[in-house]
Amino acid sequence: MVTGGAGFIGSAVCRHLVGTGSYRVVNLDKLTYAGNLTSLRDLEGHPNYVFRHADICDTDKVRQILADEQVDLVMHLAAESHVDRSIDGPMAFVTTNVVGTASLLSAVLDHWRGLGEDARKRFRFHHVSTDEVFGDLPFDSGVFTEESPYKPSSPYSASKAASDHFVRAWHETYGLPVVLSNCSNNYGPYHFPEKLIPLVIANALDEQPLPVYGKGANIRDWLFVEDHARALETVMTRGRVGDSYNIGGRAERTNLEVVETICALLDARRPRASGRSHLDLITYVTDRPGHDRRYAIDPTKSERELGWTPLETFETGLARTVDWYLANGWWWRPIREQRFDGSRQGLVGAK
Ligand code: NAD
Ligand code: TYD
């Protein structure tokens, strides 16, 4: 079972797992504003894929689905995932990420207890989390390891930190075989166009301003979503029970570098009618309140113990991403028209 399989990373995971031919995937998703079944168009009708519409907070329904579908592995991605939305409305993050994860754990524990001995041993609950639980780093030093202390800054990262603690508690207290992973910023196809990279691509194609928070000096460590999906399979199948794994692409960039690279890719592929560079659209806007300076993942443990390495560099992954958005307006244009028009979010409380 993949929870949140209609989201950005979850849909990449569903496509990857079904594509291996080794799994039958049950996608459990509530279909919030961020969920899109169109991202899974290629899997519709596939014998090894089924969609189940449910909220992870609905313990009875989830318990029933776990039993009906005879689930033997759970990969948990369902969440509210956008930092700016967590500034505007933190309670949805507490409900889904904290209460929802604990509700899901309760249903999964009941299901796990009812399995035979061999199935109980093989069972895994894999919690997909973020490096943002570790807070932020100085601009010029340090990396996050699996031992970094938890120090979340935003309502989003605080809710994810709480969910990590609940997952560990279900392991320590009830013996549920769990494994965790904390990854850096993902990017790639089917990314909801409110996050930096897809927002900038869509705005640039629509001749809209490209909003850069503050001076654009904040640093993120970028990971191509398909590299992440492969990493998640290895964590789920080969990770040590009770352990966590950091996953990152060793690709730190300032936000301004990211936006400038997108502009250069678009200048080459889709020149503006005016003949001017897309760089002209860059607009510096009020900074995010509590904006974490820098994230940087040390993925050594995942590389050494799981044998995982990313296949894309930031440059090749970003070029693939820009090409995908150029070719797939059918996916993102209706979202911009009907669900999110690109307006600024997360300014509540900004100084
Ligand atoms: P997303 O917002 O694109 O998708 C979230 C999915 O969860 C949606 O399909 C939504 O409908 C579903 N969902 C939300 N609430 C639900 C509920 N109560 N019950 C069932 N389904 C529900 O998110 P994403 O970017 O794909 O992130 C997936 C996971 O990875 C999240 O747990 C997130 O915290 C984590 N993560 C994401 C990133 C990133 O860069 N995107 C980085 C680190 C970790
Ligand atoms: P985002 O994609 O929201 O991911 P996260 O906050 O989880 O890292 O933002 C990535 C970075 O880009 C972050 O430092 C905030 C910045 N940003 C902008 O400068 N402009 C924007 O319009 C958005 C959405 C983000």
> 113 burial class (0-12, 13-18, 19+ CB within 10 angstroms)?
exposed
Residues whose CB is less than 8 angstroms from the CB of residue 293 and which lie 6 or more positions away in sequence, other chains included: 136, 137, 138, 139, 218, 219
Ligand 2, atom nearest to 292 Cα: 14
> Residue 351 pLDDT > 70, yes or no?
no
Alpha carbon nearest to ligand 1 atom 41, residue? 186
Residues 30-59: b if buried by 16+ CB within 10 A, e if exposed: bebebbbbebbeebeeeeebbbbebbbbbb
Mean pLDDT of 90-99: 98
pLDDT tens digits for 123-177?
999 999 999 999 999 999 999 999 999 999 999 999 999 999 999 999 999 999 9
Of 172, 106, 166, 85, whose CA–CA distance to 133 is shortest?
A: 166
> Cα of 159 to ligand 2 centre, how many Å?
18
Pocket-forming residues, ligand 2, beta carbon under 6 Å: 83-84, 185, 195-196, 199, 211-213, 218, 220, 255, 288
Strand 252-254 versus strand 219-224 pairing type: antiparallel
Q: How far apart are CA 187 and CA 173, in angstroms?
A: 36
Say what the pLDDT of residue 348 is: 81
Ligand 1 atom at shortest distance from the alpha carbon of 183: 43
Contact 267, 277 (CB under 8 A): yes
Tens digits of residue pLDDT in 270-322? 999 999 999 999 999 999 999 999 999 999 999 999 999 999 999 999 999 99
Per this entry, what is the length of the chain?
351
Ligand 1 pocket residues where CB is under 6 Å:
3-4, 6-10, 29-32, 34-35, 55-57, 77-79, 81, 96, 100, 128, 130, 160, 183, 185-186, 192
**CA of 291, closest atom in ligand 2:** 14
Closest listed ligand to the CA of 153: 2
* Nearest ligand by distance to the CA of 8: 1
Q: Select from 87, 196, 284 the residue to mutate for testing ligand 2; criterion: most ligand atoms less than 8 Å from CB.
A: 196
* Whether the predicted pLDDT of 334 surpasses 70: yes
Q: pLDDT (tens digit, 9 = 90+) per residue, 22-57?
A: 999 999 999 999 999 999 999 999 999 999 999 999
pLDDT over threshold 70, residue 116: yes
The first and second tokens of residue 302, run together, are: 């995942």
CA–CA gap between residue 12 and residue 35 (Å, rounded): 13
The two tokens of residue 35 are 């969920």
> Which of helix, strand or coil describes residue 346?
coil
The answer to whether the CB of 332 falls within 8 A of the CB of 198 is yes
Residue with CA at minimum distance from ligand 1 atom 1 = 7
Mean pLDDT of the chain: 97
Q: Which helix (H) or strand (E) holds 3?
A: strand 2-3
168 burial level (CB within 10 Å; 0-12, 13-18, 19+): middle
What is the predicted pLDDT for the residue at 350? 62
CA of 290, nearest ligand number: 2
Q: How far apart are CA 12 and CA 40, in angstroms?
A: 9
Mean predicted confidence (pLDDT) in 189-211 = 98
> CA-to-CA distance for 322 and 329, rounded, in angstroms?
11
pLDDT at res. 89: 96
Cα of 274 from ligand 1 centre, angstroms? 38
In whole angstroms, what is the distance from residue 99 CA to residue 79 CA? 11
Active-site residues, by number, are 131-132, 156
**pTM for the whole structure:** 0.98
- CATH code for the domain defined by 2-187+222-251+291-312: 3.40.50.720
